[in-house]
Structure 1
Amino acid sequence: MFLLYKLIWFYYEGSAKILKSKTLKSFLVAMSLLMTTTIIGTFQTAYAAGTVTFNYKTATNNSGSPLLFGGSNEPSPEHNSNVYPKLKGAGFKYQRGTIHMDTLLPSNITLADYKNNVNNVQDPNTWDWTGLQWVDFAKANGITTMLNMFYAPPWLTYSGNAKGVPKDWSVYQDIIKKIITKYGSKLDYVEPLNEPMTSNMLSRSGSPYTSQQTAAKDIYYYTVKAIRAVNTTVQVGGDGDDKQGGDFGALGTILRDSRLSSTDIQFVSYHAYSSDPVAKSQIGAMNTLLSNTGRAGLPIFIDEWNYTYVGDTTDPHVVGNQAATFVGTTLMKFMLQPSVKGAAFMSFLPTNVVLSPYEDCPGCVIKQGLYTWNNNTATLMSQTNAFRLLSSSMKLGAGTFKAYTATYAGVVDTAVGAINSAGNVIGTMVNDTSSAKTVNVNFTNINASNGTRTVTVYIASSTNAGSTATQTFTNVPLTSGSLSISNVSIPAYSVAGVIIN
């Protein structure tokens, strides 16, 4: 455009000298002015900042839960002391960890040995509790605990392996009671079963059960009744299913079990792996199932979620520059769901070393973890930057918050407003593109007195930890419930958090 402008003037000057034509001169002047106007308009269009508007008149979710900032599974036991303080620093508030019951007791005994207490095997002090050390570290770091009870000792199952259905419920319940007696005071939630519709997680081989659902129903029932025999306060629920919609796998069968009282199933849980885990969760359909089974209002836990469960993935949403934006987007969408009490990112496992034997996955190295382990030190993955920004810097992990929808189409990829438990007004935005963006931000219908405020911006990305302010606006006027700031910078593939103080 600039070159064309120069050529017009060159032609104008030469022609005017030769032709001395007032008409030509007038025409060329008009053309040059037109081109100048076009150029200026083009630059204004290219660099104009869009506007994101947060409206705090009516909350979409009045009971936003800090337990949305959670993770699933557990670090390798030898990493616990190094990892947990870092998870706390990143704002994690909830852990759905596992007890692999096949690793708890000796594997080289028989059912008769247990019944006859050979070598004092019934004494829990002789068991290997290493796989449950995560509970102690989680509680010491202020993290709410959910114990997933998974598998069984091979000598106790019909199939003869850890995935089988227990063949002696009295022995199975004796083990459950001893686990809860030892750890119950450190547990907030207990969840029997894990993905029971998958034969790799629950095998009916050799058992009298004709469906995964009926096997899961009895495992749930006998587990919960054993828990309640020794502990009446821990919250129980399940079943950690991997199906969505309809009966949500075995959950519908469990919910309809008339043997279960209201204190025997106090939450439901299931998993969602998808580019949009919130949509995949079909939360509306779950609420319908709860209503239809007489269990309306039970809290929902999405206690495993990620972009994919494929362990060796190279997808940038798991191992690349979109990992933080994927997590930020998902957490923000969960914030708008009143029914969701907790959500656990998959996972607290390491990403670059072979998993602990307590994970029942010999030789496995997976990419869905949250830390690398080198030189006896854990380094958190970039996904944790989004947790840190939302839970810690925006203080949404400090207590119950309110969440609000926003107007952002064509400006950013996602935006959600919030008011944290301390009363701070917050705006969160995601730029999931390869180009940096500059946006203007309007906050409306704020219930606060007129005056000036300080507004601070934080950024989380693959290179920004989400803990340090990137922009600060001082003496910003708040008038009649409205406040505006201009030129908020959001780098490529970043989550932005704006907090008013």
Structure 2
Amino acid sequence: MRSIFTLLMITSLVYFYVHNNAPDYQTSTVLAKELEIIEVDFDSKATNGSPLVFGGAQTPEITDQAGWDAIADAGVTVIRKGFLIENILQGDITVESYKNNVSNIQDPSNWNLNSIEHIKNVYQNAKNRNIKVIGVVAYMPEWLGYSGKYSIPSDWGVFFDIVKKTYRIYRPYIDYIEIWNEPDNKNFFNINNSKLSRHEAYTKMFSVAAEAIRSVDKEENDNRLIPIIGPAAAQPEKTDILDHLITNVPSTLLNGISLHSYDKDEPSWYTFKKVLERENLDLPIFIDEWNESSEYKANPYIYSNLAIPYTGTKLISFLKGGVAAANYYSMSLYDPYNPIKNEDVFGFYVRRNDKVELLPQGKTWKLLSVTLALGKGQSEIYQTNSDNTPSLGFVNMKGERGIIISNEKSTKEVLINLKNLPDSGTSTIKAYQASSESDGQSLTCSKSVSVRDGAVQFTVQVPENSVVGIVIEPLKINVETIKNVLGLTTKVDCIIK
């Protein structure tokens, strides 16, 4: 009985102390003259944030289960991977032999089953970890194309049949399907000998593939229509392919617009968005590949701490822009010294002493997707008033309110002003950070503040090359709170001032 009374007394004293000693919104305004102010008004929602912005293009090898576990633990929510159609129909095949069904070649059981099983295993690895899948219809069997695997089919009927049967195989595993990759890039879309312009050729390819896909959906009759997206443009500042596509393809076949963002300022989708607005179309936008550069060379924005604020700033832009999904290139093993595969200069994790370690950008994913729960479900996104510091306000699926700040420059302090919070009284501010010193998941520190009339101010130190996430919640009296108030916490140098 005495211990219960003592606990109640301590709890009451702690609450009294916190309530009367928490930083005061009214008295901290003097700091505004000296610090940059970042303000969030939680009464003015800008858009909804999609959990699928924490995606990736390409994947770990199917045998690298530790790599798969690492990207899942980091909060990767979707992967993009092609069907690799060019690999499943190889050998002594011609258009005529396929049309005449020589050796029963039209039966998928006579195709390259190893290649088919490989892609199925990739998709299954994702599904086993609740990671969604964007499948890509690409590329062309060389015997079917006019000029190799990146070219136009010489027979559209054969192409229709192959897409239909391939889609049926992979349909149970995929959530979205994209038609081709970078048709505005001659290296991936060769129109030689087709007698079609580039935009005509892509529209034809999209239409035939989409009709094949929808024919399977109709035959399956399970009320499942997988969204079809395109054009996966490499140069979204040019709109000729998109213009021709949206004016010649029925809206029932085009369910989303996709593009790539390499070496581009955001919003890289601005020009595409203007086309959609002009045509009065409300279609989701997918950034299905992005990175600082597409060049195959060692890049500090991939392997150094610069990757933390770089990816943080990008993800903030995608969330503020209401992007449906975004796929970082790439989610594979980073192995730049591998002489066999030059794409290994891209990646998301490394292997040291036979152990998997995330590259620095993995901390950004952990912070935003997992710790702040923005990858767990749809969120509400709020603009800030800052033009100098990448930042946003959010309400996650758990109802937690907070703010994210990305900083590539030297360490600085900013004054945070949160308005129209739902609760007044004493609240707890919890700080997390992705940086050279912090993993994005561990609590950096917490402070108690007094919320007056739904508003609160406090200062935050944002380290160089970091992303800081702040969550504010009503005060909860527990052992950790008592330790913080009485100065017994083991955390020092709290970034909240």
Provide the TM-score with structure 1 as the length reference: 0.81
Seen in structure 2, the aligned counterparts of structure 1 residues 230 and 275 have a Cα distance that, compared at 3 Å, is: closer
RMSD over aligned Cα atoms: 2.5
Which of 176, 187, 190 does residue 200 from structure 1 map onto? 187
Extract unaligned runs of 5+ from structure 2.
1-29, 219-224, 474-497
One-letter code aligned to 1:95: I
1:90–1:388 CA contact under 8 A, matched in 2: yes
Which of 356, 360, 367 does residue 345 from structure 2 map onto? 367
Per-residue CA distance 1:394-424 (angstroms, 9 max, x = gap): 11112211111223466xx322111112211
The yes-or-no answer on 1:304 pairing with 2:289 is yes
Q: CA deviation at 1:50?
A: 4.7
Per-residue CA distance 1:328-350 (angstroms, 9 max, x = gap): 01111121113x21111111232
Seen in structure 2, the aligned counterparts of structure 1 residues 477 and 96 have a Cα distance that, compared at 3 Å, is: same
Query: Whose Rg is larger?
Result: 1
Q: Secondary structure at the match of 2:380?
A: strand
2:62–2:125 CA contact under 8 A, matched in 1: no
C-alpha distance in 2, partners of 1:428/1:140?
30
C-alpha distance in 2, partners of 1:240/1:365?
19
Q: Secondary structure at the match of 2:308?
A: helix
Which residue number corresponds to residue 397 of structure 1? 375
C-alpha distance in 2, partners of 1:253/1:439?
47
1:354–1:365 CA contact under 8 A, matched in 2: no
Per-residue CA distance 1:301-320 (angstroms, 9 max, x = gap): 11111111011143x32332
Seen in structure 2, the aligned counterparts of structure 1 residues 108 and 378 have a Cα distance that, compared at 3 Å, is: farther
Which residue number corresponds to residue 255 of structure 1? 246
Which residue number corresponds to residue 442 of structure 1? 417
C-alpha distance in 1, partners of 2:436/2:217?
44
Q: CA deviation at 1:56?
A: 1.5
1:419–1:426 CA contact under 8 A, matched in 2: yes
1:77–1:131 CA contact under 8 A, matched in 2: no
C-alpha distance in 2, partners of 1:363/1:93?
26
User: Which deviates more, 181-190 or 375-384?
Assistant: 375-384
C-alpha distance in 1, partners of 2:238/2:142?
32
Q: Secondary structure at the match of 2:56?
A: strand
Which residue number corresponds to residue 179 of structure 1? 166
Which of 206, 213, 218 does residue 227 from structure 1 map onto? 213
Seen in structure 2, the aligned counterparts of structure 1 residues 275 and 244 have a Cα distance that, compared at 3 Å, is: closer
One-letter code aligned to 1:471: C
Higher RCO (CA < 8 A, seq sep 6+): 2
Which residue number corresponds to residue 14 of structure 1? none
1:307–1:317 CA contact under 8 A, matched in 2: yes
Q: Secondary structure at the match of 2:135?
A: strand
Which residue number corresponds to residue 398 of structure 2? 422
The yes-or-no answer on 1:109 pairing with 2:93 is yes
Seen in structure 2, the aligned counterparts of structure 1 residues 53 and 290 have a Cα distance that, compared at 3 Å, is: closer
Which residue number corresponds to residue 477 of structure 1? 450
Per-residue CA distance 1:346-368 (angstroms, 9 max, x = gap): 1123220689xxxxx97424322
Q: Secondary structure at the match of 2:164?
A: helix
Q: Secondary structure at the match of 1:317?
A: helix
Q: CA deviation at 1:470?
A: 0.8
Seen in structure 2, the aligned counterparts of structure 1 residues 261 and 409 have a Cα distance that, compared at 3 Å, is: closer
1:68–1:342 CA contact under 8 A, matched in 2: yes
Seen in structure 2, the aligned counterparts of structure 1 residues 378 and 156 have a Cα distance that, compared at 3 Å, is: farther
One-letter code aligned to 1:500: I
1:287–1:297 CA contact under 8 A, matched in 2: no
Which residue number corresponds to residue 15 of structure 1? none
C-alpha distance in 1, partners of 2:343/2:263?
21
One-letter code aligned to 2:255: Q
C-alpha distance in 2, partners of 1:256/1:243?
19
C-alpha distance in 2, partners of 1:376/1:214?
50
1:382–1:463 CA contact under 8 A, matched in 2: no
Q: Secondary structure at the match of 1:206?
A: coil
Q: CA deviation at 1:167?
A: 1.1
Which residue number corresponds to residue 493 of structure 1? 465
1:184–1:231 CA contact under 8 A, matched in 2: no
Seen in structure 2, the aligned counterparts of structure 1 residues 121 and 380 have a Cα distance that, compared at 3 Å, is: farther
One-letter code aligned to 1:292: R
User: Which deviates more, 215-224 or 414-423?
Assistant: 414-423
Q: CA deviation at 1:374?
A: 5.1
